Amino acid sequence: MSIGSRLADTLLGMPFVILGYEAAKEPGGRVAAAEKLGVPSPELAVKVNGAAMVLGGAALIAGVYPRAAATGLAAALVPTTVAGHAYWNDTDPVARNANRIQVLKNTALVGGLLGVIFAHSRS
């Protein structure tokens, strides 16, 4: 694997490790968002999702099962995005725009993760 690919995987994995750790350690308002969606045991679900992101991000950084790590991270982003950034439900224009930006950012992260999945399938 090239230095550029290792750097890309490291940079892509870092936000998952940092933000996943924060969610697992202090779920905060994420719990209410998960509860609103009817997620059973919302606090536990937020903590498990955060821990999964830490594990996936660390695996991506370390180059351990990168395709599986990227697949798991992409899957973990779906509930995070729907629960935490449902801009389509926002009536306040400022909140709507902020959440729309987060959805676009998460979409870009999924794109990067798909790049990892497909790049590693060729090697």
> Would you give the DSSP letter of residue 28?
T
Kindly indicate the confidence band of residue 122, based on its pLDDT and cuts at 50, 70 and 90: low
- DSSP secondary structure, 34-70, as one string: HHHTT-SSHHHHHHHHHHHHHHHHHHHHHTSSHHHHH
- Read off the pTM: 0.88
Q: Convert the pLDDT of each residue in 70-99 to its tens digit.
A: 999 999 998 889 888 999 999 999 999 999
What are 22's two structure tokens? 């924060």
* CA Rg value for the chain: 15
Kindly indicate the confidence band of residue 120, based on its pLDDT and cuts at 50, 70 and 90: confident
Q: Over the chain, what is the mean pLDDT?
A: 93
Q: Convert the pLDDT of each residue in 44-70 to its tens digit.
A: 999 999 999 999 999 999 999 999 999
